Structure 1
Amino acid sequence: MNASEYTYLVIEDDRSIWKNIEQRMKRYLQWRAVGFVDEVEEALAVIDKARPQLIFSDWSIRGGNAYQILTHIHQIPLYKPYIIFFTGYQSENPEIPQIVFNEFPLVRKYIVKPIFQNLTEHLEEYIREAEALAEGAEGTPVFIENDLKQQVRIVPQDILCFLQDDNNPRLKVVHTLSSETIYLKQTWEEILRFCQSHQLHVFVAHTRKAIVNRSHIIRVNRPYIWLQGGMRIQVSREKWAELNP
């Protein structure tokens, strides 16, 4: 694997964060920086020229905010970078996560500043996912049998969680990134085997009630975890110690 096989871009107006991310990324010899920018128009120019596979982006930058950049990316045909989005303004602008999750599905990770602890604990996972996305290894659909014995096409990596149905305890509900819901009759043991066979990194949030795809956890505040799209899952007391967020 060549050192320049993958490229990344940092969009941030705090240069200390530039250097911190750069130092962390030096561990991954297959990744090369194509830019560290602090202004909207400059970010758009780098994206148009280099098409980086991984983008670290703050919300507030000179000349506007990240919404302009995310909108631009979504308008580029066949371009699907792995985007790690962060902000220190969520308390002042509580609508930010809702806008990001509802309007910009290419955002893979949402982090509230400070970001360093999150990157210390999860950057290696993010890099693996970004490489899988760049190589097209992510997103291969499979079929799963629903409660009507129909074969439903699904991308395993897009699964957010499996939850027990509130109205019928015999059914489980699959929630996905696309907001699709699929009802299953499989046992929890069968669901865990499905996750294992498709290499999903899951967490049992509540025995026989909730299994969560760790890759889509964006926020943790005991006793809840939040998933991409804003879904909130309560973690049982006995399972909390196993989370290690």
Structure 2
Amino acid sequence: MTVIWGLDLHEIRFSKFKSANMFNKAYHLRRTKMIVYQLAMILCVCSESVGTAAFSDYLDQQSYIQGQHPGVKIHNNSFIGAFSYNIFVGIAVAFIFGAAFFFDLFWPERHECKHVRISWKISAVVVTIMMLSSALTITCIGALHNAVVTGTDPETAQTYRLEFTKKPSYTYHDNPKVIAAVVLAWPGWVFCVVSTIILWKSQNHDDQYGPKSKYGGGLEDGSIADKEANANADGRRSPESTMA
């Protein structure tokens, strides 16, 4: 048995991904966490991925046109900076809430010191604020900014754009990849907020009562099993009572 930082690596197995395990009621807010953490990760990473595709297109366009036409310059630093930051934030969100997802999936009853638990909370708040700032930034850049071409007239600049294979628009809000990145960023931020709230509530509950839910605690002490047994017994007796 390999144990690292108090975590039994034997617990990492595919059976943990079964819905019966992921969405069981034994642990407090487990089903909610399994859903909202994944939504936060997926939406933010999708925004980052689509933004990366647009980012790559504009870099390739800049390299091609400036290489083929000396003296012509494409100024798109605001876009490159905004979407570079979005890439970083998407990775940060996936790292924090992805880690929270897998730790809760594999080791729901793990013991963590006070400093680690505070770090979870702070990290969730930080990446949520970062995601908000990224969503605002790419929204403003995508909606209000354009790539500026100098060294030639606007008509010739459009001709140069059409020479390139990918042909991304100089006007960012006309680029569907930019629109998709912005659209995905906002629900991603919303689920970051929800995930942060759930993480805080879950950890506060764990600190006070432990990781088990009321249902899980009842299963552990046998009270739930006794109630179910009594209910089954009543169900078996009811036909006899009716006949009597």
TM-score by shorter chain over 0.5: no
Instruction: Tell me which structure has the larger Cα radius of gyration.
Output: 2
Structure with more relative contact order (C-alpha pairs < 8 Å, separation 6 or more):
2
Structure number with the higher helix fraction is: 2
TM range (shorter): under 0.3
